[in-house]
Amino acid sequence: MRARGGRRHAAVPLVSTFLALALVGGLSACAGDDALGQRARDNGERNIQIGDGAIEQIGTDRRGAPVELSGELLDGSAWSRTRQGAGKVVVVNLWASWCGPCEAEAPHLVRAATELTAAHPDVVFLGIDFGESPATGAAAAQRQGLPYPSLSDPNRAAGVWLQGKVSNPPSTLVLDRQGRIAARINGAITSPTTLKNLVDDVAAEKA
């Protein structure tokens, strides 16, 4: 086919055009706002798989070995489950500043942490800042108003630390007083009540 002026234009298959538009639309939807999308690209997170929010509770007779969790907090100080978390129920949340669902669940975590630690003196919260520098994580934790410390995990070792129960943020584990994994939320927390119920159950167990 010749257009006016005599130039020949190659026909573009409609299927190819449709697929290209769909791909662009899908990438735009996944990226969210430009700033968040850029942070994700900067951190190489294009292949992160977000959990579906499934909840798992593990009976006392089915729990594995205690989690050996220790390292450097975002402020540079040391933290160890066998010291700061000894004999306590420890809530561990895996998060990152570039993770949109982590940002969304932060207010629920703040409320749950505030209410649970007031009701249970033997409950402590700990974050694990995943795949970014301590400075970036510290700025995000301050902005979100997180009332508990976070370990720095720039090399993404959390999966090994937590016995393969979590690999990507957001995820939350509840450790019993022996340090064993008693419950897991695979994905973002959408209500503080969900986490509070899980922690209440573990806190009510006899040591």
Query: How confident is the prediction for the chain on average, in pLDDT?
Result: 82
Identify whether 13 is part of a domain.
no
Looking at residue 53, its pLDDT comes to 73
Please state the domain count of the chain: 1
140 falls within a domain: yes
20-64: pLDDT as tens digits: 333 334 333 333 334 433 443 343 443 444 556 789 999 999 999
- What value does the mean pLDDT take over residues 129-157? 97
In a domain, 40, yes or no: no
Dihedral over Cα of 42, 46, 52, 54: its sign: negative
In-domain check, residue 30: no
Cβ–Cβ < 8 Å for 8, 2? yes
Q: What sign does the CA torsion over 184, 185, 189, 193 have?
A: negative
Q: Is 49 a domain residue?
A: no
Q: Please report the pLDDT score of residue 92 as a whole number.
A: 98
The pLDDT of residue 104 is above 90? yes
Enter the tokens of residue 106: 């932060």
Question: Is there a domain that residue 9 lies in?
Answer: no
Question: Is residue 31 assigned to a domain?
Answer: no
* pLDDT higher than threshold 50 for residue 79: yes
Q: Is residue 7 part of a domain?
A: no
Range of the domain at 123: 54-203
**Can you give the CATH number for the domain in which 174 is found?**
3.40.30.10
